[in-house]
Amino acid sequence: MDKATGQNRPGRPSPVAPLPYSAPAGQLDRLVTLLRYASGGTWALALYDDPALQEQIIKYLEKTLAPVPVLSEPLGSERADPLPILQTLPEGKSGSPVVCFTHVETAFPSLFGYLDLQRETLALMSFRLVFWVTDYGWRSLAERAPNFYSRLSSIFDFQTGIQAGIAALRQELPMPEKHAPAVTGEKAATLDQERREKLLLRTVHDLESLPTTSPATIAGYLVDLGHLYYDTGRHTEAAEVLQRAATLYGLQHRAEDQAMALFEAGRALMADEFQARRSIPLLEEAVRLAQAAGGWTVARLALRGLGDVYYKLGNLAQATEFYRQAQQSQPDRGNPSHE
């Protein structure tokens, strides 16, 4: 800004207008860093409770991330599948757009199946995605699309109601430097993991205190907590949490979900060579439950898991037998709804 004229000097970008309300700058800075430096196939949740603030933040991202395009794509009951939307978006000279999906809850319940089935496809695409959800949408995605949810890069909290009591919030959000180094590395990852762990533990505690909470809802959060423990090398804790989730799924007779939780608990134990043998009964129960429920994909995973365990233990004949069973356990090969 030229102090004499009050005009912006040529060649300098116009300053980004400060955001209203109480969006904490730390959350927004983290989101900008993720979207600027992350590779493709990245997605995150942005929690909000004020549509006006959501709109302001998206506009802020458009200016801050330029020349990379930032697109806002509304979902809905007739537009519940994100994949066709992404497939129509061309890559520009500055790379693939950042895509903000809005009105996410209006695409429920169809969206859950699309996201879970398309997780690996989305991971191979070059887009960076932000799903704007309310607290209800966040909890629903964790429960109903756990495979998609487990691959989140991060969660960003822009809920004004939660943030209202936080003192000393910045009133202005400065434009990040164009070539500022990314806030990455082990320290940043550790802080994000700690935040997610605290958030999940708090959510589980709150849900358990409500007598009307469905056991399966709590189980969904425990599964995500188990994934977090597994990814950070805390395999014993992961197995314990996932077994709790399996028990809760069993209370609601959700056999396939119960089998998947048991398989993942067994996988966690397999990662520790001293506990690999303890995974066998978990994987055997997962096979039994999955086969009884017709969940052949989960059954194959558990059978392969048993093969891996016996291979680790040096029992090659038994390992080969379970690999054979997994290969032959495919009555649903022609039905994509099971894959």
The whole-angstrom separation of Cα 61 and Cα 43 is 15
- For the chain, where do the domains classified as CATH 3.40.50.300 start and end? 25-180
Lowest mean pLDDT among 212-216, 220-224, 315-319, 328-332: 328-332
Q: Which segment of 9-13, 241-245, 265-269, 309-313 scores lowest on mean pLDDT?
A: 9-13
Which pLDDT band holds residue 171 (cuts at 50, 70, 90)?
A: very low
Assigned CATH for 195-338: 1.25.40.10
pLDDT for 25: 57
pLDDT of residue 204: 82
Q: Is 313 left (phi over 0), alpha (psi -120 to 50) or beta?
A: alpha
Instruction: Give the span between the Cα atoms of 289 and 295, in whole angstroms.
Output: 8
- Residue 336 is predicted with a pLDDT of 37
Query: Could you tell me the end-to-end alpha-carbon distance of the chain, in angstroms, rounded to an integer?
Result: 58
* CA triple 115-130-241, angle to 5 deg: 60
Contact residues for 217 (Cβ-Cβ < 8 A; gap 6+):
139, 143, 207
**Segments of the chain assigned to CATH 1.25.40.10:** 195-338
Please tell me whether the peptide bond between 174 and the residue prior to it is cis, using omega within 30 degrees of 0: no
Rounded Cα distance, 77 and 108, in Å = 7
Residues 93-137: tens digit of each pLDDT: 557 899 999 999 888 889 999 998 898 899 888 899 999 998 888
7: pLDDT strictly greater than 60: no
Residue 331 has pLDDT above 60, yes or no: no
Mean of pLDDT values over 14-28: 52
pLDDT grade for 30, boundaries at 50, 70 and 90: confident
**Domain range 25-180, CATH class:** alpha beta
CA nearest 207: which of 181, 190, 231, 225? 225
Task: Check residue 74 and give its pLDDT.
Answer: 94
